[in-house]
């Protein structure tokens, strides 16, 4: 089987950021440090360390690796074959609503990235990968980000389904698990719409900001502020895409102290000002007619 990889380190366009590969030894490449790797083993065996724990894969096993920089000691036998898609974490996050399985599921997958599936689900996942692979180079498509987003979204929801089948209880019942669960319950409930201060969540959970920050960072590998801002970003995007409210009204609705502060938030977390985001959306809609 021919091995090949689409990689552009100095990526400027979406198609250069979404990578299909069969080269398992590249999954911890620095090019993927801001990506999530979704890999399936099709034949043979492989092992690797992830977050200082040893994991093994065999046929039909799927790995969801949200922090490729934590991968070390990749070893595979001569029969091993795999395929994977690596896509930017920020792009993937913006595909999904704030209230979704990914928040708690991602905690579980950081602890154990392996999802064991049957032949039917393995076939479904390989179809998802094939669909993404077949369109990566279709850059002339007028709605390329939306096209790739829809294909990646299908893959992610399939992964949610696979993972949920065997992970009814994905957090421990000790204090760390309790604090983590309660924190994400607040996040999933939409609290970041108006409250984005770490101190607010610490007060709600009756712990210090430092304890909350240390706990969430240790369990998820991501800071409290990042989780809060990611959820707030998803909420802001929903307003900008679907609400008829003005940008100033959205800023007020989300309890930003000023319109300029909301604009700076959007530029930092979405990559574009809210005005430009809406203008681009209007142009795209007009282009359809």
If you average pLDDT over residues 104-123, what whole number do you get?
83
- Percent above pLDDT 90 for the chain: 52
What pLDDT, on a 0 to 100 scale, did the predictor assign at position 52? 78
pLDDT at 178 > cutoff 70:
yes
pLDDT over 90 (residue 11): no
Average pLDDT over all residues of the chain: 84
Which position has the higher pLDDT, 259 or 177? Answer: 259
Residue 214 has pLDDT above 70, yes or no: yes
The rounded distance, in Å, linking the Cα atoms of 31 and 56 is 23
What band does 199 get if pLDDT is binned at 50, 70 and 90?
Answer: very high
CATH class, domain 175-287, is mainly alpha
In the chain, list all ranges with CATH 2.60.120.280. 14-165
Q: Write the CB contacts of 92 (distance below 8 Å, at least 6 apart in sequence).
A: 36, 152, 156
At 185 the pLDDT is 85
Give the number of other CB atoms < 10 A from CB of residue 169.
Answer: 8
If one compares 72 and 171, the residue with the highest pLDDT of the two is 72
What is the value of pTM for the model shown? 0.61
Is the distance from CB of 180 to CB of 219 less than 8 angstroms? yes
Pick the closest to residue 62 from 125, 4, 111, 105 (CA basis): 125
pLDDT of 33: 85
Q: Where in the chain is the domain with CATH 1.10.10.60?
A: 175-287
pLDDT band of residue 175 (cuts 50, 70, 90) is: confident
Q: For the domain covering 14-165, report its CATH number.
A: 2.60.120.280
Residue 286 in this model has a pLDDT that exceeds 60: no
Looking at per-residue confidence, does 96 or 133 come out higher?
133
pLDDT score of 218: 78
Q: CA–CA separation, 256 vs 237, rounded Å? A: 15
Q: Give the tens place of pLDDT for each residue, 24-64.
A: 999 998 888 889 999 999 999 999 998 778 999 999 999 99
Averaged pLDDT for residues 219-236:
88
Please, which pLDDT band fits residue 248 given cuts at 50, 70 and 90?
Answer: very high
Q: Who wins on pLDDT, 1 or 158?
A: 158
**What pLDDT does 243 receive?**
85
Integer Cα distance of 163 and 67 in angstroms: 18
Helix, strand or coil, per DSSP, at residue 89: helix
| 240 vs 175: which has the higher pLDDT | 240
Question: How confident is residue 102, by pLDDT bands cut at 50, 70 and 90?
Answer: low
């Amino acid at each position: 089987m021919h091995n090949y990889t689409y990689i552009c380190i100095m990526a400027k366009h979406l198609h250069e950021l979404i990578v299909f590969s069969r080269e398992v030894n590249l999954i911890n490449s620095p090019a993927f440090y801001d990506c999530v790797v979704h890999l399936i083993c099709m034949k043979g065996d492989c092992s690797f360390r992830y977050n200082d724990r040893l994991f093994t894969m065999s046929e039909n096993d799927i790995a969801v690796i949200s922090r490729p920089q934590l991968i070390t000691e990749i070893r595979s036998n001569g029969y091993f074959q795999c395929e994977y898609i690596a896509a930017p974490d920020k792009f993937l996050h913006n595909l999904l609503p704030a209230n979704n399985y990914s928040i708690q599921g991602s905690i579980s997958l950081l602890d154990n990235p392996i999802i064991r599936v049957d032949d039917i689900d393995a076939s479904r996942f390989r179809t998802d990968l094939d669909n993404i692979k077949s369109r990566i180079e279709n850059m002339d498509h007028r709605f390329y980000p939306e096209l790739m987003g829809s294909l990646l979204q299908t893959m992610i929801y399939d992964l949610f389904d696979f993972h949920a089948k065997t992970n009814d209880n994905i957090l421990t019942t000790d204090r760390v698990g309790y604090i983590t669960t309660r924190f994400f319950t607040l996040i999933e409930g939409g609290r970041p719409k108006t409250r984005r201060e770490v101190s607010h969540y610490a007060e709600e959970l009756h712990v210090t900001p430092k304890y909350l920050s240390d706990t969430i960072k240790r369990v998820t590998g991501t800071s409290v502020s990042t989780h809060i801002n990611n959820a707030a970003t998803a909420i802001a995007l929903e307003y900008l895409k679907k609400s008829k409210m003005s940008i100033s009204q959205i800023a007020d609705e989300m309890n930003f102290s000023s319109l300029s502060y909301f604009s700076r938030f959007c530029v930092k977390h979405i990559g574009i000002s809210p005005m430009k985001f809406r203008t681009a959306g209007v142009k795209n809609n007009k282009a359809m007619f």
